[in-house]
Amino acid sequence: MITHQSSYTITMRISGPHGIGLIHRILGEIAAAGGMMGAIDVAEIDSSGWVRDFTVHCNDPEHEKRITEAVRAMPGIHVLAVSDETFRMHLGGKLTVESKLPIHNRAQLSMAYTPGVGRVSRYIADDPQRAWSLTIKAHTVAVVSDGSAVLGLGDIGPEAAMPVMEGKAQLFKEFGGVDAFPLCVNTRDPEEIIRFCELIAPTFGGINLEDISAPRCFQIERELKRRVDIPVFH
């Protein structure tokens, strides 16, 4: 029995001539290969023919390949491109940094940056606790990982852990309204991770230790709670 998964969704860009029943035959070929149709979107159309995007839900990468090959073998059409929707979602990463306030003129620039920002910085320097109300600190969490124990994937390293940590940051924002940023570190030394978190603590309101292998994660959490004055959790 085929179980379709949204994480295995492909979009096939297909070109073909106008004619009765052609799209129906394409859909039949996809269904015969076990695919489940999603949307069909028109990309281009003129008197000579059309280009359409067929979104298909599959079971796994091998299933994606079988469906694509079945459609490619059909006479009278051309498969121009096949894109994996999960990979396309991750192109360029899933996060961005955006300004809360517009900077459209010199007055706004002089308040957001120099010279006006200097007044705010001096005010915080007199009492660092003021950073909680005058910077991003109160609503920003650091998502820190070394990629050593990523759920379902194991020890994959810091670079490969980035998409997972980006996703965790998305969850913070979407479900909690909290800004979070992934920080994947290239070390397995607990003391180095502790020191790294200790050094970045002034910027963040909390530290989420994510997918660090046990027992190091407990050691790191315990020591960080002793050294920093912000919440630390994993």
DSSP result, 95-135: -----SS---SHHHHHHHSTTHHHHHHHHHHH-GGGHHHHS
The predicted structure's pLDDT at residue 33: 96
Give the distance from CA 65 to its chain's centroid. 25
pTM for the structure as a whole: 0.86
Q: Is the pLDDT of residue 4 over 90?
A: no
Mean pLDDT of the chain: 96
Q: Is the pLDDT of residue 98 over 60?
A: yes
Architecture of domain 5-90: 2-Layer Sandwich (3.30)
Q: Is the pLDDT of residue 179 over 60?
A: yes
CA 170 vs CA 143, 173, 181, 223: distances in Å: 11, 5, 9, 27
Alpha helix (H) residue ranges in the chain: 22-32, 61-72, 85-90, 106-112, 116-126, 131-134, 157-176, 190-200, 216-227
Segment 18-66, tens digit of pLDDT: 999 999 999 999 999 999 999 999 999 999 999 999 999 999 999 999 9
The predicted structure's pLDDT at residue 3: 61
- Which positions are catalytic? 113, 168
Segment 121-151, tens digit of pLDDT: 999 999 999 999 999 999 999 999 999 999 9
Give the distance from CA 71 to its chain's centroid. 31
Smallest Cα–Cα separation from 178: which of 222, 150, 143, 151? 143
Q: Which two tokens stand for residue 62?
A: 């091998």
- Give the pLDDT band of residue 159 (cuts 50, 70, 90): very high
| 3-class SS of residue 187 | coil
The predicted structure's pLDDT at residue 2: 53
Contact 22, 76 (CB under 8 A): yes
Selecting from 3.40.50.300, 3.40.50.10380, 3.40.250.10, 3.40.50.11540, what CATH number does the domain 106-233 have? 3.40.50.10380
- Give the pLDDT band of residue 6 (cuts 50, 70, 90): confident
- Domain ranges (residues) in the chain: 5-90, 106-233
